[in-house]
Structure 1
Amino acid sequence: MDPPSQPLPNRARSHGRVASGDERRRVAAPRRSVRGPLEADVDDPLSSSIQTNIPPSAASRVLSPTASDTGTNTPISPRDGLSTLTDLPPKDFSFLQDPSAFHVLPASTIPPPFLNAASLPSVTTPIPTLLASGHFRIAAIAAARTLVANTSPTDAPTLFHLLHIRLACLCLIHEHALAAQESKLLGDLNSAFYRHPLTNTHLVPWDLRVLSVRLAALGYGEWRKGIMGYYELGRECREYIISCNSPEEKAVWKRRLRDCGIRVANILVEMGELEGAGRHLGTLATASEGDEGDRQSGEVGEILIMEALVWLRVGDVAAARKCLAAASPSSPSSSESDSSTLLDASLRALILMADNDYASAVSAWQALQTSFPTNPMVTQNLAVSLLYTGRISEAREILTQLTDESPPFHSLIFNLSTIYELCSERNRERKMALAEKMAARNGDGKVGWEIGSAEFKL
């Protein structure tokens, strides 16, 4: 009889690798070059060889969203979110319908004439009508009610659309703190829960994701959190730019990448890092050098104007002028030539105001008003320059006339209320009369119908 077999030592039974103590066997790997997700040069020469790992049978069942899902006129690609498969069970988004998560909008920040106006529409008015007429407060209330009570918890496109309207309208009425709190409903948008199980497409529309990054930075009081969020979106843009084959789709993602970069610069300005914001914007300079038709599109023009405003906040007027010039067509017509003249002269007049040379600024704005008598921006800056030179009565007359001839905007109401404080001890009565006058007008959608108490300085 054979002797019983002895158990093997633990070392012989183990299938793990044994670390070697010989340092000579270690080979240093070469350091790879690293690129930031927001850099301008995003074309990969190997992109033509990259294929998506989606079976043809599965790709044919993907439902592409429409442009109305994101509230933009940009052609939406299948990668942009809200794409589903008909043979997959729908996800439950009932956590977005928690009534306690939506706040009651405070009425103390609104002058009484706006709360009791005869032309005030009902909450049951269709939301598109409320948005078109500039009634953003009522639209926010209607969106929350519809989202909570009248939407299926599995209808993701409608839920995200209504939530986007709610958060955007709260920002438009200066309730950023409430919007930041309510945006926490979404949780971590980078989690796998918000990804398509086969295509890995994000289910949340792009515009809502961008807004949520901004609100997350505000809600947590951490600007760096916003920068990290924009860089994460920028990384995703670069991935899609490399993998997509359609030129139109690639142009959409390029514009989104540049938009994320400009938003990062804006956060740096808000942090007080003006020098860092300028250096960051300098890395995006080549992005405006694209195809002529691409540069003249409406989306690119809006992005360039955003960049120009950030350059002005940094203090680089020349760079702002370059962005605004790039937003204009290369062969301007007579009206476009007038617009360029207005731009150049306005920048020069604003520089005079920034240098406290208000007497010269008055002359500059008066010359502009002669050429552009119906431009409210020129008229208001003329009144402000007159105010700083001591000609208060002339400034008050100009601003009062402007409230009758132009749709009211926040700075106009604030400046006129300031003049009331300087001219009369009964300024509160004048402010309330101005509020009643503004509340009596019909909404036209050009500006928000409602004006807060802060603008009236009440």
Structure 2
Amino acid sequence: MDNAEGSVVKGHSRTRSAAKAARPLSVARGPLDVDDIPPLGSQAQAQAQTPPHSHPPRTPRPTTPLGRESPVPYSPGGRSPRPAPPPIDLSHLLRPDVYHALPTQHIPAPFRTSPAQPPIATPLPTLLAQGHYRLAAAAAARALTSGAVAPSDAPAVYDLLYTRLACLTLLGPAGTAMAAQEARALGDADLGRGQKKAGADDQGVAAAAAAAVPWALRLLHVRLQALGFGDPRRAVMSYFEMARECRARIAAAAAAAAARRAKEGAGAEEAEEAETVWRERLADLGLRVAGVLIEMEDLEGAACHLASLREGDGGDGGGRLALARALLWLHLGDVEAARGCVQPGQRGDRVVAALCDMADGEYGAALEKWRHVQAAAAAGGDSEMAGVNLAVCLLYVGKMQEGKAQLEKLVDEGYASHTLLFNLSTMYELCSDQAKTLKLRLAERVAGMAPTPSGWEKTNADFKL
């Protein structure tokens, strides 16, 4: 092929463009791997060893009246400078027809008539702080459609949209389905706007950062888009695309930190913190992919994927992500792999050990572990998770009444999560013929609680009504 290209072209054969670069060979590793990012020293050496004559002669740059060179707009390939980008227009996210009215028939009567219900004019931050997520979702939609937010104010629009969608997902399956429909308004053009415009100069980078969709909203949108189209594979592909971006950001942050350290200038620590954030995001994406594979019932693929993830990729000392990894292994039924995710003395080691005992059917041993976990958690002011699992173990060892009393004690202490209320309602159904009356009384007790950020208003499904 090389000899043919160097010879004289005869007849009507077409010559290949010399400016077209050859496509680099694909590597075997995937975008979720962190350890194969090229080291910074090799890049610096390659730049230093480049011969000077390989660059085209530089044209003298114009000077300002002060004698300093004025910045030249970036124009790759010698092309003319790109025109200024048009102003951002997010009016398609401000249309009233995008957002649905929120029904109230699934809310128990004690909550609808409770004096704790805030007035409709309550500010959105107050609603979020008090856990009124249904009213917060409605307030976010009103703010988006009232005309008070400019279509060009991307940060404000994205913040309100994220609040709307996140609050809907906290309302249960019905709210999640509604959020999946509304999330379709956020199109691919919106998601790629910030990445496409990042580059030329400081002003362009700042404009792109302002236009970019926040990371939390992108993660939520991927999840809702997969639910809306009924295709979890879309989530896997989107997570891998986001992982490629993470790898690029990690390399850029590492290069910036190295350059600033070499110049002994300020900003190296900031670049290192940015690198840590992107590494944690990359590790989180790896676990999200495993979760989607489990939902797709591709258990073999999920197990292989989990086994391929490196332990230290998260950058958080193996805490939250290690615990999440252990829970995924338990979901797959591999108890030994779950035990190996958390080392003794590490955060969550007792929790994983107790869950593994429950998975093995050793409820007596798990019961003692949960007692120790609950005692330790009570000192920190949060013993609900341990208390609920303790009550479940009591049920399986034949102490149903003691388990019911344990759950009622948690309610008296002010806890009211969906898991707690659902399990207590199940206990009522198992222990009494007056289960419906007991569940209605439970709803009245919870409605009389003070609002908290964990969520105040409940649904009929929480009480199995």
State the TM-score bracket (shorter-chain normalisation). 0.7 to 0.9
Corresponding residue number in structure 1 for 2:234: 225
Does 2:213 correspond to 1:204? yes
1:273 aligns with 2:298: yes
Q: CA deviation at 1:367?
A: 6.2
Corresponding position of 2:160: 162
1:307 to 325, 337, 342: 325
Contact 1:196 1:203 in 2 (8 A): no
1:441 corresponds to: 449
Q: Per-residue CA shift, 1:194-223, capped at 9, x if unaligned?
A: 555452746211111111111111111101
Aligned counterparts of 1:233 and 1:253: Cα–Cα separation in 2:
11
Establish whether residue 43 from structure 1 lines up as the match of residue 37 from structure 2. Answer: yes
- Does 1 or 2 have the higher relative contact order (CA < 8 Å, sep 6+)? 1
Aligned-partner Cα distance in 1 for 2:354–2:26: 50
Q: Distance in 2 between matches of 1:158 and 1:310?
A: 35
* Cα shift readout 1:155-209 (whole Å, capped 9, x = no counterpart): 1110011001111111122221111111000112577555554527462111111
Cα distance in 2 for residues equivalent to 1:30 and 1:211: 33
Paired residue type of 1:355: D
Counterparts of 2:151 and 2:96, CA distance in 1: 13
Which residue is equivalent to 1:243? 252
Structure 2, unmatched stretches of 5+, are 1-8, 17-21, 48-68, 75-83, 200-204, 258-271
TM value normalised by structure 1: 0.75
Query: Aligned partners of 1:324 and 1:161: how far apart in 2?
Result: 35
Aligned length: 390
Q: CA deviation at 1:37?
A: 1.1
Distance 1:265 1:372, change over 3 A: closer
Read off the aligned partner of 1:207 and give its amino acid letter: A
8 Å Cα contact 1:134/1:444 also seen in 2: yes
Partners of 1:157 and 1:235 lie apart in 2 by 24
Q: Distance in 2 between matches of 1:381 and 1:138?
A: 31
Closer, same or farther: CA 365–309 of 1 in aligned 2, 3 Å: closer
What pairs up with 1:251-400 in 2 under 5 angstroms?
251-288=276-313, 294-296=315-317, 301-325=319-343, 343-362=348-367, 364-366=369-371, 375-400=383-408
Q: Pick which of 305-314 and 414-423 moved more.
A: 305-314
Structure 2: distance between partners of 1:301 and 1:295: 6
- For residues 396-452 of structure 1, the C-alpha deviation after alignment (integer angstroms, 9 at most, x for no partner) is 22221221014222111111101111222221121111111101111221x221222
Trace 1:396-407 onto structure 2 (pairs within 5 A): 396-407=404-415
1:78-115: per-residue Cα shift (whole Å, max 9, x none)? xxxxxxxxx75421110001111111122232212122
Deviation (angstroms), 1:16: 6.7
Paired residues of 2:137 and 2:163 also in contact (CA < 8 A)? yes
Gaps of 5+ in 1: 1-11, 20-27, 61-86, 327-336
Rounded Cα–Cα distance in structure 1 between residues aligned with 2:73 and 2:113:
54
Matches within 5 A, 1:12-51: 17=14, 32-45=26-39, 46-48=42-44
Counterpart residue number, 2:99: 102
Report the residue type matching 1:39 in the other structure: D
Aligned pair 1:135/2:156, yes or no? no
Give the deviation of 1:240 after TM superposition. 2.2
| Normalised TM-score (structure 2) | 0.74
**Structure 1 range deviating more: 36-45 or 428-437:** 36-45
1:365, 1:263 → 2: CA distance? 28
Give, in whole Å, the separation in 1 of the partners of 2:375 and 2:252: 54
What is the RMSD computed on CA atoms of the aligned residues?
3.5
Q: Which residue of 2 aligns with 1:412?
A: 420
Match of 2:243 in 1: 234
Separation in 1 of the partners of 2:97 and 2:224? Answer: 19
| Aligned residues of 1:113 and 1:439 also touching (Cα < 8 A) | yes
Cα distance between partner residues in 1 of 2:150 and 2:246: 31
What is the percent sequence identity of the aligned residues? Answer: 42
The residue number in structure 2 matching 1:116 is: 113
Shift of residue 360 of structure 1? Answer: 4.8
User: Is residue 352–residue 358 contact of structure 1 (8 Å, CA) maintained in 2?
Assistant: yes
Q: CA deviation at 1:376?
A: 2.9
Report deviation, 1:377.
2.9
Q: CA deviation at 1:381?
A: 2.3
Shift of residue 32, structure 1, vs aligned partner: 4.8
Q: Is the 8 A contact 1:352 1:361 kept in 2?
A: yes
Is the 8 Å Cα contact of residues 349 and 364 (structure 1) preserved in structure 2?
A: yes
Select 2:169's aligned residue among 164, 168, 171.
Answer: 171
Deviations 1:23-82 (A, max 9, x none): xxxxx99955343111122421345468xxxx995899xxxxxxxxxxxxxxxxxxxxxx
Q: Amino acid of the residue matched to residue 187 of structure 2?
A: G
